[in-house]
Structure 1
């Protein structure tokens, strides 16, 4: 059973220290990082150390492998998804709203213009009472 996330910030529930994959790195490099870190998504950062997007294991499979593209020649920036993020000081409720609005399951967390972590639906779900959890899951997984 979830607890009340009221009053908690994203920083309270996120996974700290998210590692970025470079915007010019290959999808092979991104997939190796995902394997080594046991994650399904990585933030993409530019040479300026700023967030450029996010890439998921599903993106690599659907948009590269299934399309016959070369994992070594395709860069992460070519598949980067939209730039959706949340401030570390934001409330759990704000993060949930963003996930629902964009129907996404992971959000990069930004503090002082730098990435400081990632928050997932599972991280947030732990903070919700059961009735809110069911509503959230329905909205995030609803067909587009």
Structure 2
């Protein structure tokens, strides 16, 4: 059985809600990722900030990324999955909520990785990937 831990990219890192978006962009560049989970002072996940969020919701809207915080962009209920969840659970979570990146937590609720579309494509067969893409992108 393939699990979320098997699918995920390791080394995901939270960024504090109070950190500015320019620092988030720098960290994304350093880590070579397009999204960072956003955590509060107790390291509880509050959402995700993406490179697209920074461009569309901050820069293109005329805001200064050195003055807008990651917490300012967090919207909705954060989603995550247990490292021992199976492939069907992972796909169901991503499809149901039409999300493209899914943080993975261990039994102690620590962030241990992130599952992206690339991870799904690398792990699943072509038919499963096609079905996933159709469901996640339906209506978007």
Query: Taking structure 1 as the reference length, what is the TM-score of the superposition?
Result: 0.90
What per-residue deviation string (whole Å, max 9, x for no partner) do you get for residues 73-131 of structure 1?
11001101430111111111111111111111111111111111111122122232222
Aligned to 1:91: 86
Q: Which residue matches 1:125?
A: 121
What are structure 2's unaligned runs of at least 5 residues? Answer: none
1:21 paired residue among 15, 22, 27: 15
CA RMSD of aligned residues (A): 1.2
Q: Which residue of 1 aligns with 2:100?
A: 105
1:67 is aligned to: 61
Aligned residue among 21, 31, 43 for 2:37: 43
Q: Which of 5, 19, 34 is the matching residue for 1:11?
A: 5
Q: In structure 2, what is the Cα distance between the partners aligned to 1:108 and 1:81?
A: 15
**130-139 vs 59-68, which moves further:** 130-139
Runs (5+) with no aligned partner, structure 1: 1-6
Runs of 4+ with >6 A deviation: none
Residues paired across the two proteins, number = 138
SS at match of 2:47: strand
Deviation, structure 1 residue 134: 0.9
TM-score scaled by length of structure 2: 0.92
Which residue in the other structure is 1:4 paired with? none
